[in-house]
Structure 1
């Protein structure tokens, strides 16, 4: 009579069960993964910052020289008095706003001798 021995599959030679391992990311690996994920955002922001002022800093001339009539600020002049002088029939608030916008003025302070460009709508050269 022969005896049959039953064994578990892991005990059969040449047939080993693969051990399951969990993927572990080290601290350095997390930093690398974060850097790779953030790289496109950093590149996009850098491109926007570097290219955003291109229109302002370009050498392309906006309007040809001599297109605007200018006025020289005299002692005691203000934007309001200049607006009333160059456009007596217009609302001085609108004219002051247009002159300030055209000349890039942050405030209402003027210096004697300063030259201000006048909007074409209020030019007397017509």
Structure 2
């Protein structure tokens, strides 16, 4: 059963420069942690990649539709949903979130993350019940 993010968890994602994501192998062990930019829109968590759609961490989490993510003081199992071909409004909202949060990296970097190819890789991360919030 999926859960929803708490306001404190959304704050953690919003203030973290990036999250780390790891896909699970079929035996349940985690693949290596990969840092990735993260944004929140309407209390939902989104990530994208601007390269390697069919390889690496992205392909692994798409195949399993599950991953483990972490930011400071929070680790969670998540369901992964490919929303890259959803509404133009969702794309625009996620694009705006990337432009706002990561503007300090410069226009050329941001434009890669809001390009049509990157937008097509948008994933929504929904928490599972298993969360670890270190004390």
TM-score normalised according to structure 1 size: 0.23
Query: Using CA pairs below 8 Å that are at least 6 residues apart, which structure has the higher relative contact order?
Result: 2
Instruction: State which structure, 1 or 2, has the greater radius of gyration over its C-alpha atoms.
Output: 1
Judging by fraction of residues, say which structure has more helix: 1
TM-score normalised according to structure 2 size: 0.22
